[in-house]
Amino acid sequence: MQYKVKLEIFEGPLDLLLYLIKKEELDIYDIPIAKITDQYLEYIEMMKLLDLDIAGEFIVMAATLMHVKSRMLLPPDEVPAEEMEEEDPRAELVKRLLEYKKFKEAADQLALKEAESNKIYSRKSSEKSVIKDDDSPFFEASIFDLLTTFSKVLKEVPKETFYKVVKEEFTVGEKIHDIFHMLVDQPRIYFSNLLRKAQNKLEVVVIFLAVLELIRLKEILIIQESSFSEIEIIRNPDTLKPAGALG
C-alpha cells in the first residue's frame, strides 16, 4: 500500500483502553490484564496493516501493558522480593484511566455548551449525537468502532483469497468516488455492507482507507444508534456538495 492516511480523528491509547473496557463490559477497577493486552495489541496490528500514522504513545502503552501482564503472570514464589509489598501492578494504569475518563467527561461538558447552537450534543460517554434527515438521533462512532467492524469483516474473507496473486485493481481515489456517489443515490449506507462487497482482503483495506479519507475531508459522518451498534455512513450536512463535487 502506497497510500498513507494521517488522521486528526485519532484518539490516544487511553481512549482505546477505555473503549475496550466498555465494549467488553469489564470492571475498570479489576481489569483482566491478559485479555485487555491481547485485544489492545490486535488493534495496534490492524493500524499497522492499514499503514495508519500511529503515534509513539500507542507503542509505549503496548510496552506498559505487556510489562504489567508479565508481572501479573508471575507465580507468587517468583516475584522479586522488592516487589512483594508493592501494590497491584495494575494500580497505576487504573489511576491514569480514571483521571483521563474524568478529564474527558469534563471536556465533553464544555463541548456540549459550545455545540448547542449547531444541534450537536455530547452525552456522558463522550459520543456526540447528530440529527439525521429523518429527525432521529444517532451518535458519532469512533475510529475504534470502525476498526472493530473492519476486523470482523476481514476475518470473514475466505482464507484462500489471502494467498491469491491478484492484480491491484483498486485505488483509494476510485473508492472515494464510488462511496460519494452511492451517498448521492441513497441517504445512508451500512459500513459493514460496504466492506462485505469487497472481493478480497486488498479491496477491504482500500475501502476502509477511502472511508477514513472521506471522514478527514469532512464529507461524511459515521454514526450509530447506540454504542457498538451497526455503523451507518451519511453525508455531512455541514459540507454537503452537489453530485460530482469530488470528481
- pLDDT tens across the length of the chain (247 residues): 444 444 555 678 999 999 999 999 999 999 999 999 999 999 999 988 888 777 788 999 999 999 999 988 877 665 555 555 557 889 999 999 999 999 888 887 776 676 565 554 444 444 555 555 555 557 788 889 999 999 999 888 876 554 444 455 788 999 999 998 899 889 899 999 999 999 888 899 999 999 999 998 889 999 988 888 899 999 988 776 554 555 4
137 vs 224: CA distance, rounded Å: 9
133 backbone dihedrals φ, ψ, rounded to 5°: -65, -15
Task: Give CA–CA dist 28/40, Å, rounded.
Answer: 15
Are the CB atoms for 232 and 190 separated by under 8 Å?
A: yes
How far is 79 from 119, CA to CA, in rounded Å? 55
- Residues in the chain, how many? 247
The domain ranges of the chain are: 1-118, 127-247
Are 36 and 65 in contact by the 8 Å Cβ rule? The answer is yes
> Options 3.40.50.2300, 1.10.10.580, 1.10.274.10, 1.10.1740.10; which CATH number does 127-247 get?
1.10.10.580
